[in-house]
Amino acid sequence: MLEPMRWSNDEAARFQALRERAARGELSPTERAELDALLAELDADEADALAPAMQRLRTEAEAIAKKTASLDAKARELLRIAEEHERLLADASSAVERLRERSAALAEDYRRVMGHEFRSDR
């Protein structure tokens, strides 16, 4: 939570009066300089008050970026694994098909030699 400005009541009243005169376009150059100085002080106080929260947000953003990078790396690796697994399954499917073709060819050779189909009692 932001701390309020540490101005006295007189300073706060002077600031408000200067803002009102500025809104009406009635500031002298001296008053404009005074208002600018008060606004700069207000900005500096606000920056000081926000600094811890801004640092915390930067730290959180860095942690999120690291986590995102880690998850991206894992996702790439999982994609590589999935693609490799697909290739493995395709290779296995091709190997099974070649074994079936060889088995069918051997069964045909057996039928030709023996005159009947091969029967396995297993």
How many Cβ atoms are within 10 Å of 34's Cβ, its own excluded? 15
Residue pair 19/35 in contact (Cβ under 8 Å)? The answer is yes
The reported pLDDT for the residue numbered 73 is 98
pTM more than 0.75: no
DSSP state of 115: S
Burial 92-120 (b: 16+ CB within 10 A, else e): eeeeeeeeeeeeeeeeeeeeeeeeeeeee
For the ranges 12-16, 47-51, 73-77, 118-122, the lowest mean pLDDT is seen at 118-122
Q: What is the CA radius of gyration of the chain?
A: 41
Which of 7-11, 29-33, 92-96 has the weakest average pLDDT? 7-11
Mean pLDDT of the chain: 92
